[in-house]
């Protein structure tokens, strides 16, 4: 068996919207080792979902080639479908059925006998902490429970490759951590996971390697550490005593360090990259802030975040709240035959 679970070369996908051709994916190359988590990180419309749909054989590429577990996604699509699982951005289970009924239906469709199907379903419900909710209709589940039952549905056949398309979008932190734990267990058991996400922390926590994509192209690839090191040797993180002074503080930071600060969701916080030769500038930063009348109760110097990486590469930060893919990434449009 190849050491690469997924290999793509020059993948291209076009769509037509309002009689205009949109290149959703523009020559993407991927190499995903077996037994790893590979992250596709990018904003809405970057091309993440379109890449996943091509690899899962739901869309036919207009150019390039891709193989999953050695099977071509076009000429050997049936073999690919038999070896992969897919959890999309929207729940694929029937909300009017119970969790148990959904999984039993899938197990029987996949060819499990009655007894084997029941055993498989009970094991999945227990693994995803849904045993107590198995008899309830899915429409009564919380957001986190729905994502877990959706993940369970994609694992009925224990796929060797699992595509997770923004699996934690809209979840609260506790539910998100539960999904992360499930992903770690799957990989420990030998599965390969391709994860698309807009959450910087998610990519940082889970992915062995990350491709940053924007406008249908890979603009950087590496481990989280390699990507952070590519934009500088360090970053400063400040926490202000007064959130109302953040704009003034950002101006002081930019003037002293020469880099535009990143403004996290927390109104009291800001971060900024430190240039490679910026030791003297860092030493001058706190006195400059003090001179401007800005109190800084917390100050730290460390690695750049993935947010700084993305800002440097694209000129814009990722959104704080992840949503669904929008125009440019698998739009509802007529495909262009190539």
Is the predicted pLDDT of residue 336 greater than 50, yes or no?
no
Residue percentage of the chain with pLDDT more than 90: 52
Q: What is the pLDDT of residues 107-118, one digit of tens each?
A: 999 889 999 999
Judge whether 164 and 37 are in contact, CB under 8 Å.
no
Judge whether 70 and 2 are in contact, CB under 8 Å.
yes
Judge whether 180 and 187 are in contact, CB under 8 Å.
no
Please name every residue paired with 60 in a beta bridge, in sequence order, or none if there are none: none
Q: What is the pLDDT of residues 221-238, one digit of tens each?
A: 999 888 877 766 678 889
Q: Where are the beta strands (DSSP E) in the chain?
A: 4-17, 20-33, 37-41, 63-68, 71-72, 84-87, 161-165, 192-197, 209-214, 217-222, 234-239, 269-274, 298-302, 334-335
What are the boundaries of each domain within the chain? 4-83+159-228, 232-303
Q: What is the pLDDT of residues 98-152, one digit of tens each?
A: 999 999 999 999 889 999 999 999 999 998 889 999 999 999 998 888 888 988 8
Q: State the chain's mean pLDDT as an integer.
A: 86
Three-state secondary-structure class, residue 323? coil
By mean pLDDT, which of 32-46, 80-94, 191-205, 322-336 is the weakest?
322-336
Q: How confident is the model at residue 338 (pLDDT cuts 50, 70, 90)?
A: very low
Torsion angle of C-alpha atoms 282, 302, 42, 29, degrees rounded to 10: 110
**Residue 163: which of 49, 45, 77 has the closest Cα?**
49
* Selection from 51-55, 214-218, 266-270 with the highest mean pLDDT: 51-55
Torsion angle of C-alpha atoms 281, 286, 290, 292, degrees rounded to 10: 40
**Residue 228: which of 313, 319, 303 has the closest Cα?**
303
**Residue 338: which of 90, 54, 84, 147 has the closest Cα?**
54
4-83+159-228 has which fold?
Rossmann fold (3.40.50)
Instruction: Mark residue 206 as left, alpha or beta (left: phi above 0; alpha: psi -120 to 50; beta: remaining).
Output: alpha
How far is Cα 18 from Cα 16, in angstroms, rounded to an integer? 7
On whether the 232-303 domain is CATH 3.30.70.20, my answer is no
Judge whether 165 and 86 are in contact, CB under 8 Å.
yes
CATH topology of 4-83+159-228 equal to that of 232-303? Answer: no
Is the predicted pLDDT of residue 84 greater than 60, yes or no?
yes
How far is Cα 100 from Cα 243, in angstroms, rounded to an integer? 49
Is the predicted pLDDT of residue 196 greater than 50, yes or no?
yes
More confident residue, 287 or 91: 287
Look up the pTM and report it. 0.73
More confident residue, 28 or 264: 28
């Amino acid at each position: 068996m190849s050491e690469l679970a997924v290999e793509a070369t020059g993948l291209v996908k076009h769509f037509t919207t309002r009689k205009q051709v949109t290149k959703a994916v523009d020559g993407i190359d991927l190499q995903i080792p077996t037994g790893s988590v590979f992250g596709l990180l990018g904003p809405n419309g970057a091309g993440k979902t379109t890449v996943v749909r091509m690899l899962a054989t739901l869309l036919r590429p207009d150019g390039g080639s891709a193989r999953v577990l050695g099977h071509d996604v076009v000429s050997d699509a049936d073999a690919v479908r038999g070896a992969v699982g897919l959890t999309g951005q929207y729940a694929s289970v029937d909300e009017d059925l119970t969790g148990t009924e959904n999984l039993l239906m899938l197990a029987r469709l996949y060819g499990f006998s009655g007894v084997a199907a029941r055993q498989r379903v009970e094991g999945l419900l227990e693994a995803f902490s849904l045993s107590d909710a198995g008899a309830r209709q899915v429409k009564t589940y919380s957001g986190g429970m729905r994502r877990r039952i959706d993940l369970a549905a994609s694992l009925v056949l224990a796929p060797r490759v699992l595509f997770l398309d923004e699996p934690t979008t809209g979840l609260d932190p506790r539910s998100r951590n539960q999904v992360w734990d499930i992903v770690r267990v799957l990989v420990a058991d030998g599965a390969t996971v391709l994860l698309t996400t807009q959450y910087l922390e998610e990519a940082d926590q889970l992915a062995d390697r990350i491709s940053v994509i924007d406008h249908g192209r890979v603009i950087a690839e590496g481990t989280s550490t390699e990507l952070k090191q590519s934009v500088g040797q360090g970053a400063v993180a400040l926490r202000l005593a007064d959130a109302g002074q953040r704009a003034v503080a950002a101006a002081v930071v930019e003037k002293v360090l020469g880099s535009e600060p990143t403004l996290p969701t927390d109104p009291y916080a800001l971060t900024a990259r430190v240039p490679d030769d910026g030791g003297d500038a860092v030493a001058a930063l706190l006195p400059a802030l003090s001179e401007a009348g800005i109190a800084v109760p917390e100050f730290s110097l460390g690695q750049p975040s993935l947010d700084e990486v993305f800002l440097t590469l694209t000129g814009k930060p990722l959104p704080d709240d992840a949503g669904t893919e929008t125009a440019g990434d698998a739009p509802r449009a007529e495909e262009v035959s190539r």
